[in-house]
A and B are shown apart, each in its own frame.
Chain A
Amino acid sequence: MAEEVNKTYKVPIGPVHVGLKEPITAWLDVDGERIVKATIRPGAIHRGIEFMARDRNPIQIIYLAERICGICSFTHIVAFVRAVEDAAKIEVPARAQYIRTLVLELERIHSHILWAGVACYTFGYDSAFHLGMILREKVMDVLEALSGNRVNYGTGTVGGVRRDITPSVDKALRDMIVFYKSEFGVFYDVVMEDPIAKARMRNVGVLSREDAVTNCALGPTARGSGLRVDLRWSAPYEAYCDMDIKPVVPQDHVGEVHGDVFDRFLVRVLEVYQSIKIIENVLAGLPTGALMWESKLPKLLRHLKQAEGTGWGIVEGPRGDDSHILRLTAEKENITWWKVRAPTYANAVSWPIMFKDNELADAPLIINSIDPCISCMERMVVTDRSSGSEQIVTKNDLLRLCREKTGRVMGA
């Protein structure tokens, strides 16, 4: 075995940490520092939510759907209630549509800033990480003012929303817009103009346009590869029907597409500006009127019990499009079946392609770049097949590798 030349090591990243929303295992075959092949194995925390839902009525499932993900919880609710509204033929009042759009965009700002901050942290740019965390607090404050919660807002329901934009929320929103307009540019500059940040993200984890198409990539991952895809534009829903939204793609802003981590970063940062603009539009055009199609819950449940049909709700979440499909059967209180497709489900298919021929030190950044849950990488085991020895590499070791590479790039 000793004279073996092309020796590769198998490095599993992930999967286990009890507090995760989307844990995933990546088995990386490495030749020295270079990743030769990657295999993905999700499922460590499949909770059988779709199975559980068979014993619940649509209103009860809202609370289950909200807990699928901690960050894009409202995205899941809107996709779910839209599927119910499609199956049960329910129309949503215009004011409720606008409030849904508003919360969806607040959630996008929250998700994108958090992601951008964590990405900076991953490659050792701690000051940008802290700056990101400070910026994110503002949108969290607004969400708290609106719903009383920083996550899981309990704001959506079948046929409308449960929270209104009161004068105090309106003020918080306008303060937030002023704050981001003056402060977010700093974050944009420190990362986008920084040569080290660019060196760590440029040409890392490349997903070509063709691969993004064939592997059905979504959201910022697809847009980072230059695909003009955005459901808010190609299949508008809620208040997006009244707005002209253009998909954000790198070629429109910097003239070229690389499909790498840098492009995904760029798309997300630019989308924060887009979301601020959308929130301004929502506030300017907020219609008056009812918040719900039917505010009396027993009446709504009766209508849902009589409904028969299959519905499909699909919305553009922060990480890509989120699909919920469900079946309602007449005279049955509970739903018949429900299927959820979160964006990571689709984007994770592209991981093996992004990993190929990258360095092990870039693995955290690449995993992070589609915006899954970074804490998946709690622990990894490095196995030396030739000697049969095993060595536990912790998340900290992996992070150290990633940060040391930044040091090398800087010539430190």
Chain B
Amino acid sequence: MKPRCPEYVKESMDPEQVEHCIRDKFGESVLSLELRERNGGKNNEVSYRDLWISVDKSRFLDLVDALRELDFLHFHIMSGDDTGKYVQLNYHFSLFRCAGRGKRLGITVTVDVPKTDLVMPSLWGRIPGTEYSEREIREMLGVDFDGLPNKNLIFLPEDWNEEIKPWRRDETGPKPEDIRELS
């Protein structure tokens, strides 16, 4: 599937508008929403904004598609952590990369993936640039991505025991005997 809009928009929306748009569309499914200002320069003025969204897993794809209506959603990276019952994933995106000085809006979408069902829909069909990151999260945290064509290891060695997930903190994580201290 080719992305619908392989070009960046020239006209940006205000971050507040984006925030309202998401609140209106997703209501209760958005678990938290924070618009953070980043300051800088001699007068310490607001130079750009980041939007931090936490969303229910069932509405994740809808949220991504809603954001894609606004601009081509530029993907930076996915970060994640094992929080106990969940593996928490943070997708880091940008909107309005090309729309003018100080217009870029950083967007982080946080999803809790329950350990009983460690599967996320792959964004590869929408944003091909997500491939490496999805493969990394798959091998490091054990979250599978439905729709990702290439699920080979990416950073771990070829002969890695795939039952060990390096970033997990439970029984699937590395045990003390798996870790070699160098000093």
Contact = CB atoms under 8 A, between A and B. Distances in A.
Nearest to B45: A241
Contacts of A321: 76
Contact of B7 (A92, A210, A323): A210
A241 B153 contact: no
Most B CB contacts (10 A, CB to CB) among A210, A234, A323, A348 go to A234
A47 to B, nearest CB: 10
A228 interface: yes
A236 B154 contact: no
Nearest to B154: A43
Given A310-B52, A321-B76, A234 B96 contact: yes
Contact of A346 (B129, B154, B166): B129
Interface in A84-113: 86, 91-92, 94, 97
Contacts of A325: 77, 79, 90, 92, 108
A109 B104 CA distance: 25
A237 B77 contact: no
Contacts of A346: 76, 129, 132
A267 to B, nearest CB: 16
In this complex, the interface size class of chain B, counting residues with CB under 8 Å from chain A, is 35 or more
Interface in A233-284: 233-242, 244
Given A235-B48, A237-B40, A242-B41, A216 B74 contact: yes
B129 A310 contact: no
A228 B40 CA distance: 22
A285 B41 CA distance: 11
A323 B77 contact: yes
Contacts of A228: 98
A231 interface: yes
A235 B106 contact: yes
A223 to B, nearest CB: 11
A336 B7 CA distance: 37
B36 interface: yes
Contacts of A242: 41-42
A227 B94 CA distance: 15
18 contacts: A42-B155, A43-B154, A43-B155, A51-B166, A86-B38, A94-B41, A94-B44, A216-B74, A234-B98, A234-B102, A234-B104, A235-B48, A312-B92, A339-B79, A346-B76, A346-B132, A349-B128, A349-B132
Given A235-B48, A310-B52, 13 more contacts: A43-B153, A86-B38, A86-B50, A91-B39, A209-B7, A214-B72, A216-B130, A229-B8, A231-B104, A234-B97, A325-B90, A325-B92, A337-B79
Interface of A: 41-43, 46, 48, 50-51, 86, 91-92, 94, 97, 209-210, 213-217, 227-229, 231, 233-242, 244, 285, 287, 310, 312, 314, 321, 323, 325, 327, 336-337, 339, 341, 345-346, 348-349
Interface of B: 3, 6-8, 36, 38-42, 44-45, 47-48, 50, 52, 72, 74-81, 90, 92, 96-104, 106, 108, 127-133, 152-157, 166-167
* Cβ-closest 10 pairs across A and B: A216-B129, A241-B41, A339-B79, A341-B77, A43-B155, A235-B48, A234-B104, A241-B40, A46-B155, A235-B104
